[in-house]
Structure 1
């Protein structure tokens, strides 16, 4: 397991395109005893075009059905991955999220297409679309439980490798975009729903100064709405959801 992990990490780190990533996933999946793999953003893949991560070797018929019905958004496997921080066997999905009749049909359809139990590793990065890396076998083939710790590690590195190749965080490290401490404070309180007047009372400066700081922050991010400004700062890590909601 340790040797397979080292080899895979080296290969996925060196992968220069999606084909090399797919080759690496095929090799390590087979070594772990899985037939299928899928690294994907949880979005409507067709509408997203080439901007969303998607590398898999599922049967074509199932992949076509999956895309045509935009299951990337509502797939119960994907939804279950949003409520846990570690990998899980698909047989545990009912313990993680409630399953509707439609969910049951989707899982049954997958089984009819020859896909049995699987193991999914969540990849949820604040400010980005949720994603995951899954491994699965044909229906009726047992889950190789002894390799699940390796699958957890492989899944994490596989998705991170895909993020690098797809340039998910495409914003450059531009010094002109970095906010001043005071601008960040203003954007943070605005993201919490405070008005300029309320922020001025909190920070002890004039309302005009607050408006100026937020205007300059918008200019740095090339946006003209405070909502977009908050989203962009979440996306690049200037702010976090914990900052805003003070959890």
Structure 2
């Protein structure tokens, strides 16, 4: 299942379990079969059974899940603790290099590796009112290449996050359908979704790079999103732009 298929299916479900299963399926095809979603700075009322806060949904080896929950490892997990310090996706292998981890944090990472979570990527996800969530992807393969999958998993995480926000949104909340974007803002978002840089988009649209950045910032502000990837995910969810079609070999 590619990203386009994930978006199409995600737009048709109102079930957290179904949406999370879709996420696991897509991540597994990238070689990252274990997935966890958590709400770090607020209590998300919609969670899968057996997931205490800050966990919302978790798919990992059963023995590791049981140990992680029973020993309350989420209280000392360095991924949970350090996510607020990152604005972009990060590799678990970076943590020990960039921070002096406490013994309890090192133990969580080591036990996770022993349980089969050998390589991990975490994606910080930002929401309104300072809300911070995180999706973590882990691989059981020794030769997994986290760096080679960061971009695709980052995009997948943001699309899941936006779809989940729609499912969890209170029925009396404000309607996002009132968001309107100019045609130029939509054009810029479409090309970013195709993997183009601001410079490349400027050449395509025959405008300056600064003009492209101006339109993208306006679109992100109107959508109430945190960055370009988040903006694209929400614009697609609101049918303001179309999801990029998968490349045909």
TM-score range, shorter chain: 0.5 to 0.7
Whether the aligned pair in 1 keeps the contact of 2:46 and 2:56 (CA below 8 Å) is: no
Aligned equivalent of 1:216: none
Whether the aligned pair in 2 keeps the contact of 1:41 and 1:53 (CA below 8 Å) is: yes
Distance 2:151 2:61 in 1: 26
Aligned equivalent of 2:153: 151
Aligned equivalent of 1:23: 21
Aligned equivalent of 1:134: 136
Whether the aligned pair in 1 keeps the contact of 2:38 and 2:56 (CA below 8 Å) is: yes
What's the secondary structure of 1:131's corresponding residue?
strand
- Deviation of 1:170 after TM superposition, in Å, equals 7.1
Whether the aligned pair in 2 keeps the contact of 1:43 and 1:72 (CA below 8 Å) is: no
Aligned pairs, number: 171
TM normalised by structure 2 equals 0.59
With 112-121 and 10-19 compared, the bigger mean Cα shift is at 10-19
Aligned equivalent of 1:93: 95
Aligned equivalent of 1:223: none
Is 1:78–2:80 an aligned residue pair? Answer: yes
Distance change (3 Å), C-alpha of 1:124 and 1:95: farther
Task: Specify every segment of 5 or more residues in structure 2 that has no aligned partner in the other structure, as ranges.
Answer: 48-52, 176-223, 225-249
Distance 1:161 1:48 in 2: 16
- Deviation of 1:109 after TM superposition, in Å, equals 1.2
Greater helix fraction, Structure 1 or Structure 2: 1
Aligned equivalent of 1:32: 30
Deviations 1:46-84 (A, max 9, x none): x97848662222012211222223333431012222111
Query: Which residue, 5, 20, 28 being the options, matches 1:7?
Result: 5
Task: Specify every segment of 5 or more residues in structure 1 that has no aligned partner in the other structure, as ranges.
Answer: 175-236, 238-247
Distance change (3 Å), C-alpha of 1:60 and 1:170: farther
Look at both structures and tell me which one has the larger radius of gyration over its CA atoms: 1
- Deviation of 1:98 after TM superposition, in Å, equals 3.1
TM normalised by structure 1 equals 0.59
Distance 1:118 1:66 in 2: 16
- Deviation of 1:107 after TM superposition, in Å, equals 0.7
Distance 2:146 2:113 in 1: 18
Whether the aligned pair in 2 keeps the contact of 1:133 and 1:158 (CA below 8 Å) is: no
- Deviation of 1:16 after TM superposition, in Å, equals 1.4
What's the secondary structure of 2:11's corresponding residue?
helix
Deviations 1:180-223 (A, max 9, x none): xxxxxxxxxxxxxxxxxxxxxxxxxxxxxxxxxxxxxxxxxxxx
Is 1:104–2:116 an aligned residue pair? Answer: no
